[in-house]
């Protein structure tokens, strides 16, 4: 079970596609501790995700919360693991050293090459943030070589998708989590360009895989896995409020990040606990098959059950986003053709990554033994 602590709704940036209504609410120490206590009560392996706004505006709260959770762990609770999603502009060596010592996983939001990144990831005065990040990204990878990078692809930057992935890869990121901006103003033209970019990315992926390089490029990995591990994929799809809960700065609980601040979706409070009836009600509503998707041949491999994305794109978690639908129809056949080619060649890296359950462990062992000082 993961608890996403929205430490603040304030941010030092003003990204144009951001869905968070910026304000100046900050989570108190009392609320953060109560959230950790709640997480500890849900069983073993509790994920604590520090989220925002920009969570590094609340550095002291992070340190206090981790210290508190570590104390609980010594008393037999947890174990806890930690993650931060940050825009990176406030990352510095002292925090990176701290994150390495306390095993805090850091995910960096970055949109690739400068023309794409600076279109949307901007300071409040409208200037881009790209220049603030290159040195920080390298420093991050120095301390946390497995740090994932979170790349958002909005329609106005879609033509830079491949270049963005290449840039981030060359910078040293090997875990590339890419998502399109589902709430963006997509048109048929920009979707056609998206398809072209995915075809180019498939070629890039194939070449890297045949060269036996190790990396994770989320759109293809997820879609290929949705076929190879189809039963698991169906079982693991969005379970609204069951695996992840968002905690607002005031301690109110919501089923996912898109719902924070909307009273209708409140499922409890860190002090009074989870309102199981409300949580179950939302979960069951989300489980209902969406009528337009009922006859779709790829619905079991599609992300149309993601309540968060639907909420972001359409305003209702039960209404499937047409952009999401278009994206799935574009991506799935490209990913399948890519996988077929690699399978036919019996590409060793593809076979190991996709079919060997122990691949992450073996890969990590290789890195530790041979590549990391």
Partner 1 sequence: MDQEIKITAVKSYRIPGYPVQEEAVRSPNLLKALPKHWRAKPVMCMALAFTITSGLCACMDRSEGPGLQIPVFEHGDGRSSFGCDSVSPPVFLSEEEAAQVIREEAILQGVDFSGSKTIHGEFPATSFYSFRENRPAPGTWNGTLDLDGYDSQIGIGFEYVSEQDFSAWSEDKHPVATIGSYDLKGTAERMSGMVSDVAVFYDPTDEFKDFDWSQVGMDTEQYQEYLAQFEAEQKEQMKDQLREQVRDFLTWLAGEGVI
**Nearest CB to partner 1, comparing residues 138 and 345:** 345
- The least CB distance from residue 241 to partner 1, in Å, is 25
User: If binding is defined by CB under 8 A, does position 373 make contact with partner 1?
Assistant: no
Task: Find the binding residues for partner 1 in span 72-101 (CB under 8 A).
Answer: none
Q: How far is the CB of 350 from partner 1 (least distance, A)?
A: 8
Among 75, 294, 368, 373, binds partner 1 (CB under 8 A): 294
The sign of the dihedral angle between the CA atoms of 218, 223, 226, 227 is: negative
Identify the residue among 100, 135, 284, 365 touching partner 1 (CB under 8 A): 365
- Min dist. Cβ of residue 203 to partner 1 (A): 18
Interface with partner 1: number of residues (CB under 8 A): 51
Q: How far is the CB of 231 from partner 1 (least distance, A)?
A: 8
Q: 356-364: which pairs have CB atoms within 8 A and are 24 or more residues apart?
A: 363/214
Smallest gap from Cβ 145 to partner 1, in A, equals 17
By CB under 8 A, residue 159 contacts partner 1:
no
Any idea which residue has 């489980």 for tokens? 287
Distance separating alpha carbons of residues 123 and 15, to the nearest angstrom: 7
CB 154 to partner 1: min, Å: 13
Binding mask 178-207 toward partner 1 (x if CB under 8 A, else -) reads: -------xxxx--x----------------
Q: CB neighbours (10 Å) of residue 56?
A: 22
Count Cβ atoms below 10 Å from residue 336 Cβ, excluding itself.
Answer: 17
For residue 65, CA distances in Å to 22, 37, 48, 95, 260 come to 23, 11, 9, 15, 20
Instruction: Please name the residues in contact with 107: beta carbons below 8 A apart, sequence gap of 6 or more.
Output: 83, 84, 85, 86, 147, 148, 149, 150, 177
Q: Which is nearer to partner 1, 162 or 349 (CB)?
A: 349
Residue 263 neighbours by CB under 8 Å, 6+ apart: none
Q: Report if residue 366 touches partner 1, rule: CB under 8 A.
A: yes
Using rule CB under 8 A, residue 355 touches partner 1 = yes
C-alpha distance from residue 366 to each of 273, 346, 372 (Å): 43, 21, 9
DSSP string, 132-173: HHHHHHHHHHHH-TT-EEEEEE-GGGGGGHHHHHHHHHHHT-
Please choose, from the candidates 116, 114, 108, the residue with its C-alpha nearest in 3D space to the C-alpha of residue 193. 116
Smallest distance, Å, CB 228 to partner 1?
5
Q: Contact 90/7 with Cβ under 8 angstroms?
A: no
Q: Which residue, 277 or 297, has its beta carbon nearer to partner 1?
A: 297
Establish if 323 lies at the interface with partner 1 (CB under 8 A). yes
CB of 372 to partner 1, least distance (A): 15
Binding of partner 1 by 318 (CB under 8 A): no
Q: Which stretch binds partner 1 (CB under 8 A): 98-106, 146-154, 256-264, 287-295?
A: 287-295
Binding site for partner 1 (CB under 8 A): 185-188, 191, 212, 224, 227-232, 292-299, 320, 322-323, 325-326, 329, 332, 336, 339-340, 342-349, 351-352, 355-358, 361-362, 365-366, 369-370
């Amino acid at each position: 079970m993961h608890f996403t602590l929205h430490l603040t709704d304030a941010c030092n940036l003003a990204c144009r596609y951001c869905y968070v209504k910026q304000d100046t609410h900050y989570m108190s120490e009392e609320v953060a501790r109560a959230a950790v206590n709640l997480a500890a009560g849900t069983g073993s392996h509790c994920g604590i995700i520090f989220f925002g706004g920009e969570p590094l505006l609340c550095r002291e709260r992070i340190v206090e919360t981790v210290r508190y959770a570590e104390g609980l762990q010594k008393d037999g609770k947890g174990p806890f693991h930690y993650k931060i999603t940050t825009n990176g502009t406030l990352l510095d060596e002292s925090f990176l050293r701290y994150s390495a010592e306390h095993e805090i996983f850091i995910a960096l939001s970055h949109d690739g090459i400068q023309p794409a990144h600076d279109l949307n990831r901007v300071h409040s005065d409208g200037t881009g943030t790209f220049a603030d990040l290159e040195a920080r990204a390298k420093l991050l990878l120095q301390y946390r070589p497995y740090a994932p990078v979170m790349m958002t692809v909005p329609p106005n930057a879609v033509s830079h998708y491949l270049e963005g992935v290449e840039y981030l890869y060359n910078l040293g990121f090997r875990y590339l989590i890419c998502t399109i901006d589902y709430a963006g103003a997509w048109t048929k033209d920009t979707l056609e360009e998206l398809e072209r970019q995915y075809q180019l990315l498939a070629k890039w992926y194939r070449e890297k895989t045949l060269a036996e390089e190790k990396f994770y490029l989320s759109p293809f990995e997820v879609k290929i896995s949705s076929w190879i591990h189809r039963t698991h994929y169906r079982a693991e799809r969005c379970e609204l409020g069951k695996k992840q809960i968002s905690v607002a700065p005031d301690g109110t609980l919501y089923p996912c990040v898109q719902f924070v601040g909307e009273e209708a979706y409140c499922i409890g409070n860190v002090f009074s606990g989870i309102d199981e009836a409300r949580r179950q009600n939302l979960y069951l509503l989300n489980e209902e098959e969406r009528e337009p998707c009922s006859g779709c041949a790829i619905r079991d491999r599609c992300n149309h059950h993601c309540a968060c994305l639907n909420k972001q794109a359409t305003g209702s978690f039960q209404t499937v986003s047409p952009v999401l639908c278009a994206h799935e129809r574009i991506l799935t056949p490209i990913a399948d053709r890519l996988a077929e080619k690699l399978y036919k060649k019996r590409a060793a890296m593809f076979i190991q990554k996709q079919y060997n359950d122990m691949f992450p462990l073996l890969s990590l062992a290789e890195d530790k033994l041979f590549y990391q000082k």
